[in-house]
Amino acid sequence: MLRIYETDCAALAPYWDEALALLPPERRQRVQLCRDRAAALGIAAGGLLLRAVLGVRTDGRLLKGPCGKPHIPGGPEFNLSHGGTLAVLAVSDRAVGVDCEEARRGASEALLRRVLTPVLALCGCVFMVYAAFAAHGAAVWYY
């Protein structure tokens, strides 16, 4: 089982105070200390995805593995990423990873096809990545 959840971080901006109120205190503090507005929106959106999908209401519930990857004891495997205006949460019954990066302006579609396709063809996610890029200007890598 693999489930992918994504949200547009910029859509949180009009609901900033309400979004902050829903975050665990630890994550709320990280958001408030963040100087980059886009990064703050991404951290907030990630926290809201964790809450909505996995029921995480406190960062104390999340533990970090030896390499720093968060996990919930007894919970499903998951990974969270944000980049640009997109936040992505992958949830699985086995080890999973996801990465979201904003495509730089001026990156040609031909270049993206040349770089992304060989990697993504291996995991069968070409369409999903292209759709995310087309919709959000961001490429999502599942590994």
Across the range 120-136, mean pLDDT stands at 47
Q: Is 107 exposed, middle or buried (0-12, 13-18, 19+ CB in 10 A)?
A: middle
**Chain mean position to CA 92:** 14
Q: Answer whether 0.85 is exceeded by the pTM.
A: no
- Which phi and psi angles does 108 have, rounded to 5°? -80, 155
For the chain, what's the residue count?
A: 143
Quote the tokens at residue 110. 């031909």
Structure tokens at 101: 């990066």
Query: For 33-37, 83-87, 124-128, 130-134, which range has the lowest pLDDT when averaged over its residues?
Result: 124-128
pLDDT at 105 over 80: no
For 28-65, the pLDDT digits (tens) are: 999 999 999 999 999 999 999 999 999 988 877 888 88
Using the predicted structure, report yes or no on whether residue 15 has a pLDDT greater than 60: yes
Residue 135: what pLDDT?
Answer: 47
84 phi-psi bin (left φ>0, alpha ψ -120 to 50, beta other): left
